[in-house]
Amino acid sequence: MRTELTYDHLAAVRSYLPELDRALVPSNGRRRHWNQRELSSEQRARMNAQAVAEREAKERNLGLGLKALGNAPAPLDLSALDARDLIVTSVAELEEAVCDKLGLTPLARPTTAERITRLIGLLDRIALHEDLADHVHAEAARLRQTARIVLGEAEPVVRLTARCIHCRSLSLRAYPERAVIAARNAFAPLTNPELFGVLASQVHYTNGAATATILGRTVHVIGANDAKAEPKVRGMTCAGAYVDEASTLPKDFFDQLNARCSVFGAKIFATTNPDNPGHWLRKEYLLRPSETSLRAWHFRLDDNIHLDPTYVETIKSTYTGLFYKRSVLGLWVQAEGAVYDCFDDDLHVVDILPTITRWISLGIDYGTAAPFAGLLLGFGVDRKLYLTREYRYESKKAHRQLTDVEYSERLRTWLTEVPIPGTTLKGVRPEYVVVDPSALSFRVQLHNDGLTTHLANNDVLDGIRNVASLLATRRLFVQ
């Protein structure tokens, strides 16, 4: 059974590869017109090259202050790129592990599809080694899920009619690809006398109903799938709430729910799995416990005593790096979708800077409605690069947009206040001030204020490769 599932996962990943290639060229949520037609690989390459040329022409014109020609969007989707690179790297490592275990020689410069085809052909031999079979199965399932998320496909779910043997819930769902069965009814455990004793008889709920009764109180059962859910709680006066998987809720809904719990002593109890470190739940609630009157408890995979020890060990051996930190240690780190999956807070973040011998550049990401950011890059006495300071302004949070004159003044003032490591002095003047080519008016303003600017190179792929290389070789650090 597991071998068949592993085969399905690997075959699906192989079939997703051309889909991911096509998804690399986005079009504001729509596939480009040539991706909707049956074209040869040469025709497709020619059309993609034309899209790149359109983008470059648009950037050149914007840099000259001219109206952009055409309306072609950027020919790159970072989420698709990241998924594609993750699959390529992971499949190569998987083939290497299988060959090492089975005493085989890896293929010479094969494509990823050819590697997967070989792994499929070796599944019967892999099944003879339990640890290896577990690892291949888990990796194949993970890669399939990663590709599916990027391509916007839903995971198949089967509704079961049986009761859960633990909580007697009727709301059972089966996820065939993961060989997992889950109970989706949060009320079922509350009605189980083995768990809650005599209090279980004080819980009344009918599957699918909009309300339940717990200890004589009416409890509203509300789903919150998107931003349209926020009006469901608007106007309510609540004495408390229970939220399952809080990080999956729309922020507007959670904020409104928090505001509606206005009865004296009201509390919100919420569970969540770790997510992106920039997630609103972490930034605006978990990291501000005193301001939000919040208490949080952190659990790791080992803390769940109900999990089978073999399953726990399999998960631990399957994941590495950022995925291990999130899935095993329960840390809020960027995992799937990370552009730089080699970035590690423990390795790349430093508290103390060495002596900076050159202040190389200030890179500016110009924004009016979008956030405005400036990153200061220095070259240390140890011959390594350091991102030392960030200037940032978010007009949406400040409820006010700044003009080019104001941005220039604030940025120049900020540079005079940057402390110089190892001294009591302040104030730096970077050798280069690099600005997005489209920010023509801002570049003119900086020039008028005495700062000579240089056009940024917006080649996304080259930029990602350069930064990834610096991080991987430990030549770039962040204070």
pLDDT of residue 229: 76
**Taking the C-alpha atoms of 125, 128, 134 and 140 in order, what is their torsion angle to the nearest 10 degrees?**
10
- Cα→Cα distances 201→171, 188, 193, 195, 197, Å: 19, 12, 8, 12, 8
pLDDT of residue 433: 92
pLDDT of residue 155: 62
Residue pLDDT, tens place only, 223-248: 776 667 788 888 888 989 998 888 87
- Cα→Cα distances 18→35, 125, 377, 464, Å: 11, 28, 38, 22
pLDDT of residue 231: 84
- Global pTM? 0.45
Which pair of structure tokens corresponds to residue 468?
């990834």
Per DSSP, helices labelled H in 105-176 are: 112-121, 123-126, 130-151
Other Cβ atoms closer than 10 A to 319? 20
Ranges under pLDDT 50 in the chain: 27-37, 65-76, 336-337
The count of residues in the chain is 479
Which pair of structure tokens corresponds to residue 342?
């080699």
Residue pLDDT, tens place only, 421-450: 988 899 999 999 999 888 888 888 998 898
pLDDT of residue 337: 47
pLDDT of residue 389: 93
Walk me through the domains of the chain, giving residue ranges and CATH numbers: 2-151 (no CATH), 346-478 (3.30.420.280)
Other Cβ atoms closer than 10 A to 178? 15
Q: DSSP letter at 417?
A: T
